Amino acid sequence: MHRRAERFGAATIRHEMRMHGLDEALVQTHVAALGRTEFARARTVWQRRFKVLPASPADRARQARFLLARGFSAETVRRVLGATRDDEG
């Protein structure tokens, strides 16, 4: 799961862990840990794919859909797409 967490948000990892029948306490502990690094992980995934902030509303929507589909929270997506290069989260 750790390698997948580099590319996916907490929601996706939570879903996969539950689908594999893991103990709910373990799932919650792991998801809480992922929550602390979600912004940094989302930003890394976004930078690999897009490299520049969206120039139009259509670009913004496309980039947001990309991150949301990978399980990152709406708040995290908003922060990534509104972030500047100097923003550290």
Q: Is residue 11 part of a domain?
A: yes
Domain count along the chain: 1
Q: How far apart are the C-alpha atoms of 72 and 7, rounded to whole Å?
A: 10
Q: Is residue 87 part of a domain?
A: no
Q: Is residue 88 part of a domain?
A: no
- Full residue range of the structural domain in which residue 50 is found: 2-82
Report the 10 Å Cβ neighbour count for 88: 8
pTM across the whole model: 0.75
Q: Is residue 89 part of a domain?
A: no
Q: Is residue 34 part of a domain?
A: yes
Q: pLDDT tens string for the chain (89 positions)?
A: 566 777 788 888 888 888 888 888 988 888 888 888 899 999 999 999 999 999 999 999 999 999 999 999 999 999 999 864 444 44
Q: Which are the contacts of 70, defined by CB distance < 8 A and separation ≥ 6?
A: 7, 8, 9, 12, 45
Both tokens of residue 10? 């907490």
